[in-house]
Chains A and B, each alone.
With several copies, the nearest count.
Chain A
Amino acid sequence: MYTDKVMEHFTNPRNVGEITDPSGVGEVGNPTCGDIMKIFLKVEDNIIKDIKFKTFGCGAAIATSSMVTEMAKGKTLDEAEQISNKAVAEMLDGLPPQKMHCSNLAADALKKAIEDYKKKQAV
């Protein structure tokens, strides 16, 4: 069902955990299947220095969380914001059709975390 890449990220997910005192936090719930994902950012000089996630969800949800954190780490906020659901799925060599919605979780959570950071900066 899942590609080796998905299974690899599911088995050894990168960047699991929380950041104490994060620069930004994004949380999304998937209304269709009820899963939840949380992303924590540490931003310095507009660059994502550190990123962590916590996910309650299926294999695809965990793998996409892991992948999106890996993709975002070290990028500028503008670059990170460009990461699309599709790009995450592609980096995992694809997801089964019925699991495409899980990849939305990851990219959306990242965007929300960046938004949260920007909002905090604006104040």
Chain B
Amino acid sequence: MRRVYFDHSATTPVHPAVAEEMYRYVNKTFGNPSSVHFFGREARKAVEEAREKVARAIGSRPEEVIFTSGGTESDLMAIKGVAYANCNKGNHIITSSVEHHAVLDNCKALEKEGFAVTVLPVDADGMVSPDSVAAAITDKTILITIMHANNEVGTIQPIHEIGRLAREKGILFHTDAVQSFGKIPVNVDELLVDFVSISGHKIYGPKGIGALYIRKGVRWLPISLGGGQERKRRPGTENVPGIAALGKAAEIAMETMADEAARLTLLRDRIIKEVMENYSNVRLNGHPTKRLPNHVNFAFEFIEGEALLLSLDLQGVAASSGSACTSGSLEPSHVLLAMGIPPEIAHGSLRITLGKDNNEEDVSYFLEVLPAIIDRLRAMSPLYHK
């Protein structure tokens, strides 16, 4: 059976050159970077080279980058690290209703600890308005955390505009760039951000590695405690193969980003066009143009997302959904609900996220198998009446 992987926002395959880089530090150069001997020094070198590569990719200095176990940990470290370090200055945090749970859940936890959290609404396209940020700022605000691009609907937020507001008021600004990094430019000075979370497995790197950019001189406290690694900002023996791989993945992403974005935008727009033209009762979720180049999200009315995914899977197409039935949480995607999409329609969402190995044939194949699936499920649905 033909297998088409259309779930690159969930995770990506590892790029062969990245895998090779990783293997070097699994097979040969296995030392602990803290060791003074030969094996240790080789490993240290790998870590520092990778740090430079990541720094170059986001336009920062190497010492402003620390390695973490992934996007989730980066978000935790940024948010709690700023909150605890600045709680004598204020206790107010601003975030949005479409953030990843790694951001939202930490904000909620801080709320229980006595912080005040404003969760900004979004418009029907999933967009946060800079005006709403401006209106939410108080003299107690110590942190704004708004994601760069949304994982479920692909909408790209006006980070630069929000960054300008934050900077004017001297408020620290974190952005979760896990989905945007490697797909659109993420430059810390252009975006005017103080903290940026990224994750390896979304950019053809391995799982279990991520990074956090921490602008030099900001007030921040480490969350993880233990050894002296990462200059005490993130202790624990460094994941050298993961770090080397992340560096390589970032480097490749920078080299290929512009071309890939152009190529995937064409594929993406073909999917959008054909689906919107050929089906009734379907809508495109997320911003029509300010969206990630590889990202499509539809809501098919009268259909449940998991059933749709299973049906696609039986045809070899791997995609995802914000439906309650797939999430285990029994509630449809908080992102779609925040955008004002009714629960029964949010249920039928289908996320298609393209990647480097996808081509026109993959898209054709998907567009070929989709109609029968939609028809079959709609025919089964008590909500559907032709």
State yes or no: do A and B come from one complex: yes
* A residues whose Cβ falls under 8 Å from a Cβ of B: 1-2, 7, 10-11, 13, 16, 27, 32-38, 54-62, 98, 101-102
Complex partner residue of B303 from A13, A38, A56, A98, CB under 8 angstroms = A56
Chain B positions within 8 Å of A59 at CB level: 306-307, 310, 325
**Per-position contact with A for B115-141: 1 when CB-CB < 8 Å, else 0?**
000000000000000000000000000
B381 contacts A54, CB within 8 Å? yes
Which residues of B have CB within 8 Å of A35?
304, 325, 347
Interface centre among A32, A57, A62 (most CB of B within 10 A): A57
How many Å lie between the Cα of A33 and that of B36 in the bound state?
A: 17
Residue on A nearest B40 in the bound complex, by CB:
A1
Chain B interface residues toward A at CB < 8 A: 36, 41, 44, 302-304, 306-307, 310, 314, 323-326, 328, 330-332, 343-344, 347, 379-383
Bound complex: CA A69 to CA B214 (Å): 43
Q: How far is the CA of A36 from the CA of B306 in the complex (A)?
A: 14
Which B residues are in CB contact (< 8 Å) with A11? Answer: 314
- A16 in contact with B304 (CB, 8 Å): no
CB within 8 Å for A98 and B380 given contacts A1-B36, A58-B306, A59-B307: no
Q: 19 A-B pairs, CB-CB below 8 angstroms?
A: A1-B36, A10-B307, A10-B310, A13-B380, A16-B379, A27-B382, A34-B347, A35-B325, A36-B382, A36-B383, A54-B382, A55-B381, A55-B382, A56-B302, A56-B303, A59-B307, A59-B325, A60-B325, A98-B328
Q: Are A56 and B382 interface neighbours, CB within 8 A?
A: yes
CA distance A60 to B303 in the complex (A): 14
The chain B residue sitting closest to A102, CB to CB, is B325
Residues A34 and B380 in contact, CB atoms below 8 Å apart: no
A1-B36, A34-B343, A35-B304 in contact; A58/B381 too (CB < 8 A)? no
